[in-house]
């Protein structure tokens, strides 16, 4: 590693004593989870962004969740923008529909 990089780029230290048998998967996950919980939220966001950018797995659960959340956020923003427009245009559209029902177009 270069000396100019900060600690966020270093791999997480997971100490497994050599004289003990390898830990089972659940305890290893617990150790990693505790290490990740100690990191700053900016570092976590950067790690997730790097993973999503570099991931090549088509059905990666992490990337899928990130994409789903982004889609939900975009839809929510679109709805917020539309609500302001709908309040001003909605009554006009309703009046046009009522006017069309009151004055039917005559066939020639």
Q: What is the predicted pLDDT for the residue at 73?
A: 92
Has residue 25 been placed in a domain?
Answer: yes
Q: What is residue 1's predicted lDDT score, i.e. its pLDDT? A: 43
Q: Tell me the residue range of the domain where 36 lies.
A: 8-96
| Residue 42 forms part of a structural domain | yes
Closest CA to 63 of 51, 47, 45: 51
Instruction: List CB contacts of 43: < 8 A, sequence separation 6 or more.
Output: 8
104 in a structural domain: no
CB 100 within 8 A of CB 89: no
| Res 20: pLDDT | 64
Residue 85 lies in a domain: yes
- Domain tally for the chain? 1
53 in a structural domain? yes
Domain membership of residue 15 (yes or no) is yes
Whether residue 1 is contained in a domain is answered as no
Q: Decide if 103 is inside a domain.
A: no
Burial 9-40 (b: 16+ CB within 10 A, else e): eeeeeeeeeeeeeeeeeeeeeeeeeeeeeeee
Return per-residue pLDDT of the chain as tens, 108 residues: 444 555 556 666 666 566 666 667 788 888 888 988 898 999 988 988 898 889 888 888 988 888 899 899 998 888 877 766 666 666 677 777 666 666 555 666
pLDDT at 31: 87
């Amino acid at each position: 590693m270069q000396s100019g990089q900060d600690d966020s780029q270093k791999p997480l230290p997971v100490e497994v004593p050599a004289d003990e048998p390898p830990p089972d998967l659940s305890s290893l996950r617990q150790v990693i989870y505790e290490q990740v919980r100690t990191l700053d939220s900016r570092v976590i966001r950067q790690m997730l962004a790097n993973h999503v950018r570099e991931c090549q797995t088509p059905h990666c659960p992490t990337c899928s969740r990130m994409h789903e959340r982004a889609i939900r956020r975009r839809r929510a923003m679109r709805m917020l923008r539309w609500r302001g427009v709908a309040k001003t245009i909605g009554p006009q559209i309703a009046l046009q529909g009522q006017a069309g029902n009151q004055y039917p177009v005559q066939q020639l």
